[in-house]
Amino acid sequence: MAHLLGASVDCARRNFGLALDHYWDLGSRDWRVSILRSPTHAFLWPRILDEFRRARDSFDWQGKTSVARLLRVSIDDIFVDRSSLRRIMLSRLPALALLLVSICPHISAKPAGEKTLWKSVQFAIVRFNDAAPQSWNIYHTDKRGILLVKLWKRFLLLDIKEQEVYEVDPQTVKPHGENVEWSMSDLPNDPIETSEWKERDVGLVERIRFRFGKTGHFLDIQLPLKPDGKPAY
């Protein structure tokens, strides 16, 4: 491969072909290509590979023709063999993975403030101090263990796993038929005080009970379960 950094495309093709013609002379003329630093000559590399494939296909593989092999590559004026080249490429994989991880959330994430549809939980039961409130409902998304509870004109977000309850501003909840739309970006920073949190499964029902504050009212929620113990909503 001739001094490709200053060569034209036709010159590059001739020089690479010349290197293939000299089996014992491949690379002996110190012909180099930078594959790391020079974006202005990035067009040369695909053409070199194309020339290599064309030369490979022209050989008579049934005979005993000697085939030149690329034994070492010059990367920014430093010669490395194929095993070293492989290690160099592998060393760059963590950086590439980190780049992809940092980009993907920005690609898939919803725009800030976009509301999510919360669907009503069928066959659920809510009791306030062991009595049924006049107006209530429970909503869910695909994320299990997170519930939006309507209690009269009040809305509460329950994080069952963390045993936390958040007061939700009703103005941020938009009715959508029997469902509602609400964004997690409207969630307050701190949960409200609760105590005496209890969870247990009773047959095909998951029961969650807690007290508001230390001496306040009790809220009892019962959610349907499948026979395998998973939520039925």
Q: What is the pLDDT of residues 75-102, one digit of tens each?
A: 444 444 556 556 655 666 676 666 665 6
Angstrom distance (rounded) from CA 52 to CA 46? 10
Closest CA to 213 of 184, 198, 193: 193
Angstrom distance (rounded) from CA 101 to CA 95? 10
* Mean pLDDT across the chain: 74
Q: What is the pLDDT of residues 6-27, one digit of tens each?
A: 444 455 445 445 444 444 444 4
- Structure confidence at residue 114 as a pLDDT band (50, 70, 90): confident
Angstrom distance (rounded) from CA 144 to CA 161? 9
